[in-house]
Amino acid sequence: MLNININGMDVKVEKGSTILEAANKIGLKIPTLCHIPEIQKIGACRMCLVDIEGNPKLQASCTTPVVDGMIVKTNTKKVRDTRKFVLELILSDHPTACLTCERNTRCELQTLAAELGVDIVPFRGATSSRGKDNDTLQLNYDGSKCIYCKRCETMCNEVQTVGAIFSQKRGFDSEVGTPFNLPFKDSVCTGCGQCVLNCPVGALKDNENIDEVWDAIYNPDKITVIQVAPSVRVTLGEEFGLKPGSIVTGKIFAAMRRMGFDHIFDTDFAADLTIMEEGYEFINRVKNGGTLPMITSCSPGWVNFIETFFPDLLPNLSTCKSPQQMQGAMVKTYFAEKMKLDPKKIVSISVMPCTAKKGEAKRPEMGRDGYSDVDIAITTREFAKMIRQSEIDFLNLPDEGPDDPIGISTGAGLIFGASGGVMEAALRTALEVIEGHEIKNVDYVGVRGLKLDGFKEATVSTQIDGNPVDVKVAVASGLGNARKLMEKVQAGEADYHFIEIMACPGGCIGGGGQPIPTTTEIRKQRIEGIYKGDKDMPIRKSHENPAIQVLYKEFLGEPNGHKAHELLHTHYTQQKYYENLKK
């Protein structure tokens, strides 16, 4: 342990800690812009400068390791003046059009300017000529707002290993961009949105679809049907000041009703449906010698990733559509038939933790007879914005439920929101179906939790047709971890039966469409919320969901049957990247 004195307070820290980490330990909030705890320490923005005794120059606390006996001051006049000066320099090239910016009142740069008391921007000169991208389904880019903190770049390259963006050009023209400044849609971008989640300003944001949703609500000829994803109920509260992990399920449905949606459903129902289809698909593959390991396909960022980087493993991918698409398909077929509605008049809307869902909804194979399963996908952030636009006092709403007949859900559907959840939900159903009797303990804790580096593994013993089988499973979240796992599978070093992959670290609770900020600590709290919600559910296994049972009886027939295949399954194609380069 090393001793350091910060602002007169003694702190003990482990060897290798930075001054910033030591300061955080005693509750000091040193300002940062380019720092991502545990992920990016580059000392680029110079906001975290501190005064180290014996050192003539101020040093970046995020990159300077603690030396035993160090004496540091973080809030002297020199430090404050210098930080303010640095910020003024950053602002010299910034539009400062805060009122009309997406991140107004939620911007790290704006907050710092207020905290450091920047009252004018003293330096005004040339402005950068960085481009814009309004052409991509999942996200928008406005380079003029970029402060070059490189957080997006690190998420894209180091954490997600997608490599769509990187620092380009030099000097004043430097920018983070795609090769040849292509629109994101023509790059290897998976649309995961981790860059958006980490942008301190409004340079990267959702490609917003709020206006389309309002238009549908106000159009008397349209029937709006909305669904909300499992993870949104433990994150949306943060947009209204609640603690991460607070469960606001009832208020979400109440808000939707007041906003004027005609029919309100829960994607948790479709998550149960996914488990039925995916669980039976898994059993079939194991029993009939199908391609193993089977890999989950709920995460559209992940599907884009495997289609781009591991096309040889596409036969391993479950053919099941994601819950969003299954719900959409059921809305426009089963529900429309039952309620005698014209599916062409239905506008199917989803509230998702995800920017990639916007792309998934627009995939041409996701629909039939000229209409899509899901017409508009909005993120948690966009939905929160809509609630604010609706003059709804969200926190004081009563708790309400979704509509019948496809509103009932289970704990198994809910845990889809966290990494490991799909696996656990699938095991709850598959093992019971395989063994043919009730399994009392359905907590498969081995697959739970946040694992930022590597993947989770578990082995579950069962019997298939009288023979004992050890079912080996693996769970990875974050595309960098997914890549490691897939390389293992490719090399033949993995004898798993079943693999769950989520594109975003921690699963959907850390999705690219979730409230900002989303830190490691916040991800953990959201995961706790998910499993608390699961424990409190009266039904915790998908196949016991009475609405699911009725759906199969009345409409779908057998899981994996003909009709189910037609409506609930899909196919994948290799995405050839940078194909359009040959000009």
Q: Using CB under 8 A, list all residues that contact other proteins.
A: 157, 163-170, 178-180, 187-188, 578, 581-583
**Amino acid letter at 293?**
P
Strand partners, 295: 317, 499
Q: Is 281 a known active-site residue?
A: yes
Query: What is the DSSP secondary structure assignment for residue 459, as one 8-state letter?
Result: E
> Measured from the CB of residue 295, what is the shortest distance to other proteins in angstroms?
23
| Secondary-structure percent of the chain, ordered helix, strand, coil, rounded to 5 | 40, 15, 40
> Measured from the CB of residue 163, what is the shortest distance to other proteins in angstroms?
4
Nearer to other proteins, 37 or 163 (CB): 163
Indicate which residue of 41, 145, 332, 357 is catalytic.
357
Q: Is 528 a known active-site residue?
A: no
Q: Is 318 a known active-site residue?
A: yes
> Measured from the CB of residue 582, what is the shortest distance to other proteins in angstroms?
6
Nearer to other proteins, 218 or 578 (CB): 578
* 128 Ramachandran zone, left/alpha/beta (phi>0; psi -120 to 50): beta
Give dist(CA 5, CA 456) in Å, integer: 39
| Positions of E strands within 314-414 | 346-352, 367-368, 371-372, 376-379
Q: Is 582 a known active-site residue?
A: no
Give dist(CA 232, CA 234) in Å, integer: 5
Indicate which residue of 48, 107, 149, 508 is catalytic.
508
Torsion angles phi and psi, residue 320, rounded to 5: -65, 135
Indicate which residue of 318, 409, 477, 542 is catalytic.
318
Nearer to other proteins, 42 or 210 (CB): 42
> Measured from the CB of residue 491, what is the shortest distance to other proteins in angstroms?
16
Structure tokens at 132: 């814009």
Q: Is 365 a known active-site residue?
A: yes
Indicate which residue of 21, 108, 239, 281 is catalytic.
281
> 95: cis peptide before it, omega within 30°?
no
Structure tokens at 2: 């090393």
C-beta neighbour count of 218 within 10 angstroms: 10
Question: In this structure, are residues 511 and 194 in contact, taking their beta carbons and an 8 Å threshold?
Answer: no
Give dist(CA 521, CA 510) in Å, integer: 11
Nearest in space to 534 (alpha carbons), one of 450, 413, 395: 413
Helix (H, G, I), strand (E, B) or coil at 261: coil
Nearer to other proteins, 308 or 327 (CB): 308
Nearer to other proteins, 187 or 419 (CB): 187
Indicate which residue of 153, 238, 239, 278 is catalytic.
278
Indicate which residue of 38, 115, 158, 365 is catalytic.
365
**Amino acid letter at 290?**
G
> Measured from the CB of residue 198, what is the shortest distance to other proteins in angstroms?
17
Give dist(CA 434, CA 456) in Å, integer: 23
564 contact partners, CB below 8 Å, separation of at least 6 = 277, 556, 557, 558
Nearer to other proteins, 171 or 220 (CB): 171
User: For the chain, how many residues are written?
Assistant: 583
Nearest in space to 189 (alpha carbons), one of 154, 156, 164, 223: 164
Structure tokens at 368: 């039939």
Indicate which residue of 156, 298, 320, 354 is catalytic.
298
> Measured from the CB of residue 312, what is the shortest distance to other proteins in angstroms?
16
> Measured from the CB of residue 128, what is the shortest distance to other proteins in angstroms?
15
Nearer to other proteins, 163 or 517 (CB): 163
Nearer to other proteins, 87 or 139 (CB): 139
Torsion angles phi and psi, residue 182, rounded to 5: -70, 155
**CA distances, 218 to each of 118, 215, 259 (Å):** 43, 5, 10
Nearest in space to 273 (alpha carbons), one of 559, 571, 565: 559
Q: How far is CA 182 from the centre of its chain?
A: 24
Structure tokens at 538: 């009266």
> Measured from the CB of residue 184, what is the shortest distance to other proteins in angstroms?
11
Question: In this structure, are residues 196 and 354 in contact, taking their beta carbons and an 8 Å threshold?
Answer: no
> Measured from the CB of residue 338, what is the shortest distance to other proteins in angstroms?
49
Nearer to other proteins, 44 or 564 (CB): 44
Q: Is 108 a known active-site residue?
A: no
Nearer to other proteins, 44 or 331 (CB): 44
> Measured from the CB of residue 186, what is the shortest distance to other proteins in angstroms?
11
DSSP string, 267-285: HHHHHHHHHHHHHHHHHHH
Structure tokens at 78: 């020199």
Indicate which residue of 108, 360, 432, 500 is catalytic.
360
Catalytic site positions: 278, 281, 298, 318, 357, 360, 365, 508
